[in-house]
Amino acid sequence: MQRQSDLPCKDRPAPIGRLRVKGYIMEYSNENIRSIVEAQRKFFRSGATLDVEWRIRQLKRLKTQMQLHEKEIIDALAADLGRSEAEAYFCDVGTVILEINETIQGIRRWARPELHFSGMTCFPSLLTRVYHKPYGTALIISPFNFPFTLTFGVLAASIAGGNTAVIKTSSKTPRCTEVMMKMVSEIFPDEYITVIGGGHDVADMCLDQRFDKIFYTGSPAVAKHVMAKAAENLTPVALELGGETGNWCIVRKDADLKDAARKIAFFKLCNSGQICININQVAVAEEVADEFLEELAAAFRKQIGDDALTNDEYPHLITKSAYFKCADEADEYRDRIVFGGKGDPETLRYQPTVIYPVGTDEEIVKHELFSPLLPVVPFKDEKVDDILNVIADREHGLALYLFTKDISWANRVMETQQFGGGCINEVCLHMMVKGAPFNGTGHSGMGAYHGVWGFREFTHPCTVLRGYTKFNLPLREHPYKGKGNEYKLKALKLFER
C-alpha cells in the first residue's frame, strides 16, 4: 500500500520487515520492535517533525482519515463492543475530530517560544526564550473501552508536540486495531507513526525499549508496571487511570431527582459502564432514596426499554471474563438488586443493575466496577460530610459528580476534594470542554491532555538565555571581599529582593 510522506524517498529510513496476517495484524519480536523504535529515532533526528506547518498537515491527514473511514470505525466498534452507530460517533469519531480541530486551531500559538524579561541579575541580558520542545519518540498504550478516542486523541497531542509515536493498542478490540493499522499506514510511514497490536507480551516488548515519553491509559495495577519499566530509563510518563476505588456521585435531598436519574442512567448505559470516568457508586440522601430509585428505574426503561438484553443499541461487556466478573458480583448481592440483574453470556450483555442498600464499607464500593452494576449508598443528608470523608480516605477518583441545588456547598466540595475532574448537576461533559485538561491524580493518574494541555504533555519547556560580550557586570565573580569589592553584596541584595 502506498503511503504519503513529506520527506523525499531518499531521506526515509529503510522499511522494517514484519510478518503480516490479513494485511495488518502482525507478529512481533523484541528485534523488530527495536528496529521500529530505532527508525523512529532516526526520523526524529532528521528534524522533519519540528516544523509547525508540517505538524498541521499531519493533523489534517489524521482528521481526513477519521472522516473517510467513519463507516469502518463504526462497524469495528459494533463488532468489538456492540456499540450503536450514534454512540460510536459521539464517543469515538466526533470526539477525535473535535480534538484535532482544537489542536490545529491552537498549535501555532502554543508552539511559539515564550519571551520572558531576564531580570536585573541577568544584565545585560534582557530577554529569555522558553522553547516548547518535543520529547522525541513516544509510546502510546491505549485501552479497549474507547479505542479511537483514547488512541488518536492522544496521538493528536503527540503530533502537535512534534514527536514520533509507536502506538500499542488493546488486544481486546482486534477489529478496531485492524482499522487503526489501516488508517495510519495509509498516511504515515512506519518511521513516523506505527500501530502495534498484540497482548501483554507485546506491550512488555515495547516497554523494554527506550522511549522519550510514555502515555498509558488503563488500570492502576498495570500503571505501576508501566512506571517501573519507565523508571529503568527515567522516561517521563503520563497516566490516565480509572482510580482504585471508582468514582462517586452524591445526590442530596434537594436535588432535582428526575434530572439526576436521567443523567445517571444515560451515563451508566453508555458503553455498558466501561468508562474510566463513569459513576461507580451513587450516594443518595435516604430522605429521597425511594423516590430516586423509582426515577432511576423509569429513566433506564425510557432510554433502553424494558429489557436491555434485547436492545441492539445496548453495548456488551468486552470479554467473557468481564461478563462473568460482573455476573458473579451481581449474584453476591442478589437479595438487594432492585432493578436489572439479568445477563446473557452469549451476547455478553448484562442489564443495568441497581443494588440497594449498600454500606460504605462493603466490598462492591471499594473497587472500580467497570460494568453496568450500580451500588446505591444511602446517607442522612445532614451527615453528608461523613460520605465526603469516606471518599477522601480512599484513593483519589478520576471524577466526582454532585447533584444539588446548593451550589455554594457544591463549589466548596469541588474546591476541597481530590479527584481528576467532575460536574455539578451533570455527568461526563467536563471532558468535552475546549481548552480544559482531562487528568487524574494519584491512583487516577498523572499528567493531563486535551487541547493545549496535550501539547504541553508531549513537549518539555526549554529555557534559553542569550548573553552579551559587552557591559557585563562582575557582581557574580570572585573576589567578593577586599578593596573595591564591597559593593557586590550590596548590589546583589538590591537586585535579589
Which residues are tagged catalytic? 240, 276
301: left (phi over 0), alpha (psi -120 to 50) or beta: alpha
Which residue carries 498549535 as its cell? 107
Radius of gyration of the chain (CA): 26
Euclidean distance between CA atoms 280 and 369, whole angstroms: 6
Q: Yes or no: say if 368 and 242 are a contact pair by the CB < 8 Å rule.
A: yes
Euclidean distance between CA atoms 12 and 39, whole angstroms: 9
- DSSP string covering 50-116, please? G-HHHHHHHHHHHHHHHHHTHHHHHHHHHHHH---HHHHIIIIIHHHHHHHHHHHHHHHHHHSPEEE
Picking from 151, 163, 166, the residue whose alpha carbon sits closest to that of residue 458 is 163
Instruction: Classify 135 as helix, strand or coil.
Output: coil
- Exposed, middle or buried: residue 415 (CB in 10 Å: 0-12, 13-18, 19+)? exposed
**CA separation (Å) from 200 to 30, 169, 288?**
13, 10, 46
- Longest CA–CA separation in the chain, Å: 94
Q: Yes or no: say if 184 and 193 are a contact pair by the CB < 8 Å rule.
A: yes
Euclidean distance between CA atoms 288 and 290, whole angstroms: 6
Picking from 198, 189, 188, 192, the residue whose alpha carbon sits closest to that of residue 65 is 188
Instruction: Classify 419 as helix, strand or coil.
Output: strand
Euclidean distance between CA atoms 173 and 319, whole angstroms: 10
Identity at 20, one-letter amino acid code: R
Which residue carries 493545549 as its cell? 452
Instruction: Classify the C-alpha dihedral 19-24-28-32 as positive or negative.
Output: positive
Q: Yes or no: say if 72 and 92 are a contact pair by the CB < 8 Å rule.
A: no
- Number of neighbours of residue 414 by Cβ within 10 angstroms: 15
